[in-house]
Homo-oligomer: A and B are copies of this chain.
């Protein structure tokens, strides 16, 4: 909870009122490595804030292959946007990649929070803007870059991820096979 408060204070004016409200609507949870937090097919509209550790959202295709949508570390939000903003069943799952501390807010509660404390709208808007530009950049990478370019861009941009996240999951984020990623990494170590 303190991590979330810290995060909020860094963005908008904070008050005791807000604190009380937050304590009412936020669920704190410690999760183990490998634990699934949000299951595919659920209809839960939950926003997850990562207080510590690392999470991943992914989609499992018809062949059982997993495709990573997002990684999230401390101070990041992660959720299944398609489920929250449409009325369709979730096609994605969220799992923890390490022992993590997470804070969960129900979407309805969050919407109420926006009404009661309009300054949160600003936070939300900023998050949206960041998310849109991030997704846009990712589309562009997928459209224009080769396997090795995508990988080097990724480890460059998300250095801190490299140690926590298994390579086969990075591959599934970049849209390449683990074998290809391994070959790309070999090249690097030879040059």
Contacts and interface: CB of A to CB of B under 8 A. Distances in A.
Interface string A104-137: 0000000000000010010011001111110111
A5 interface: no
B124 A81 contact: no
Contacts of A124: 125
A24 to B, nearest CB: 23
Contacts of A132: 81, 85, 128, 131-132, 135
A175 B142 contact: yes
Interface residues of A, number: 30
Copies of this protein in the assembly total 2
Contacts of A20: none
A10 interface: no
Interface of A: 59, 61, 65, 67, 69, 81-82, 85-86, 118, 121, 124-125, 128-133, 135-140, 142-144, 172, 175
Given A61-B144, A139-B142, 7 more contacts: A59-B144, A81-B136, A82-B137, A85-B129, A85-B133, A86-B133, A143-B172
